[in-house]
Structure 1
Amino acid sequence: MEDLVAIARIARPHGLRGELLADILTDFPERFEGLRKVTAVMPGERKRQLEIESFRYRNERILLKFLGIDRIEDAEEFRNAEICITENETVALDDDEFFDWQLEGCKVSGIDGDLIGEVSSVMRTGGTEVLVVNGAKEYLIPFAATICVMVDIPNKLITVDPPEGLLEF
């Protein structure tokens, strides 16, 4: 089965007719337009195929209505579920752009080949993203082309050429 990418996380049922209020996890919320089939990954990793009947945005969240889920009791089982699409359904990015989930888990090494650590998360600061790298300590490495000189997603490897002092205490 293909890898899944979460685009929303169900917070709770909304109303009595089976709608679900969800946090949007994608940078492309317009992707819900025309999206029909999704996979709900429930806590405990159980999966269920769903079809979106309707949706509407509500503040910074989205209200989802799925076919066949018509009562609050039916909707309750989806609390905390992630709504996912397959990797090949993701929005196409430019060659020098990456999804956070592609960067997380990448090994980070210096241009000399020495292992620095592994990317645990990506921080969004409003400017250049920052890689949180766990190694001998936690490093914060700006995800800039001048520092991250090679990004090899298929091999889960990022090579960095850090400026002096970046990896020091």
Structure 2
Amino acid sequence: MQLVVGRIGRPHGLRGDVTVDVRTDDPERRFAPGAVLSTDPASAGPLVVASRRWHSGILLVRFEGVDDRNGAEELRGTTLVIDSADVPPSDDPDEFYDHQLIGLTVVTPGGERAGEVTDVLHHGQDLLVIRRGGREVYVPFVKALVPEIDLEKGTLLVDGPAGLLDPDQIA
């Protein structure tokens, strides 16, 4: 399985730097000089990081062989990916990678199937996107609401207030 670690944005400057929309919790490692990243579309890569730096909170990356603004512009919109097998397991039993959560069956304390995790959003507070009845429900990914995750069984327990998993109810 491939994991998205970033998406190439607009060129920055004239020497081939590009902005990267970071989608990994470890950008220093994923975008270290010498790191090799696969791409989607595959025809754009693989790409080797030549250098990286932060500028006003935005990651700027230069890839080997991309030496000017035109080359950087050709990469715009390219998704940067790694193989999930290259991600070491976490030592923390309460820490999960997005790819481990996506696809889990959501259950209630009573054992009722309540949907499936389809995405994890990182907006200051991590949010689980749960597909339920053809609609999406957003649940904060906090221990108080998600007290139990069983990767072997493929389930995630959501124990929240009444209406939390009801997309038609406003709390």
**Shorter-chain TM-score: which interval?**
0.7 to 0.9
Aligned to 1:84: 81
Alignment partners' CA distance in 2, 1:87 and 1:40: 14
Letter in 2 for 1:5: L
**SS of 1:85's equivalent?**
strand
Task: Quote the sequence identity (%).
Answer: 34
Shift in CA distance, 165/18, structure 1 to aligned 2, threshold 3 Å: closer
21-30 vs 136-145, which moves further: 136-145
Alignment partners' CA distance in 2, 1:55 and 1:29: 10
1:32-51 alignment, distance < 5 Å: 32-33=31-32, 36-42=35-41, 46=43, 48-51=45-48
Unaligned runs of 5+ in 2: none
Alignment partners' CA distance in 1, 2:13 and 2:124: 35
Letter in 2 for 1:100: D
Scaled by the length of structure 2, the TM-score of the pair is 0.76
| Structure 1 position 49, deviation (Å) | 1.0
1:113-152 alignment, distance < 5 Å: 113-124=111-122, 126=124, 129-136=126-133, 137-152=135-150
**SS of 1:112's equivalent?**
coil
Aligned to 2:53: 56
Letter in 1 for 2:112: D
1:97-116 alignment, distance < 5 Å: 97-116=95-114
Letter in 2 for 1:33: A
Shift in CA distance, 163/82, structure 1 to aligned 2, threshold 3 Å: same
For the aligned residues, what is the CA RMSD? 2.7
CA contact (8 A) 2:129 2:136 kept: yes
**SS of 2:70's equivalent?**
helix
| Structure 1 position 16, deviation (Å) | 2.8
For these two proteins, the number of residue pairs brought into alignment is 164
